[in-house]
Amino acid sequence: MLYRFFLGRLPLHVSGRLWWILLWALLFTVIEFIAYVNHSITHHYGWSLLCSFLFNIVTFSLLVIHQKTALVAWILSGSFIAFLFIFFDIPMP
């Protein structure tokens, strides 16, 4: 379903794509904000709504990259996850 609404309507021009990614990142962040205010979710290890917004921008950007070159998107995703674990000092089991 996400393909239909996000990638299926992705603008052709770069500026349009940037605004489209920002719109979807904002939409997902607003949904998280509502859940946060209603105590449906909590943030830990220094995470915040700003972090979520930036994470959403990266996620939707990676979806666009994955559509063209999946391997590059997987490599970037793995690198980004490793960065997040190190930056937020997430304890390993």
Cα 25 to Cα 52, 71, 91, 93: the distances in Å are 9, 23, 27, 30
Q: Is residue 23 part of a domain?
A: yes
Q: Is residue 6 part of a domain?
A: no
Q: Is residue 5 part of a domain?
A: no
- Please answer whether residues 26 and 55 qualify as being in contact, where contact means their C-beta atoms are separated by less than 8 angstroms: no
Q: What is the pLDDT of residues 17-40, one digit of tens each?
A: 999 999 999 999 999 999 999 999
pLDDT of 13 higher than 90: yes
From 32, 65, 58, 93, select the one nearest 85 (Cα to Cα).
93
Q: Which domain holds residue 37?
A: 17-87
Looking at residue 52, its pLDDT comes to 98
Instruction: Give me the number of domains the chain comprises.
Output: 1
- As a whole number, the mean pLDDT across the chain is 94
Q: What is the pLDDT of residues 49-67, one digit of tens each?
A: 999 999 999 999 999 999 9
pTM above 0.85, yes or no: yes
Q: Is residue 3 part of a domain?
A: no
Q: Is residue 8 part of a domain?
A: no
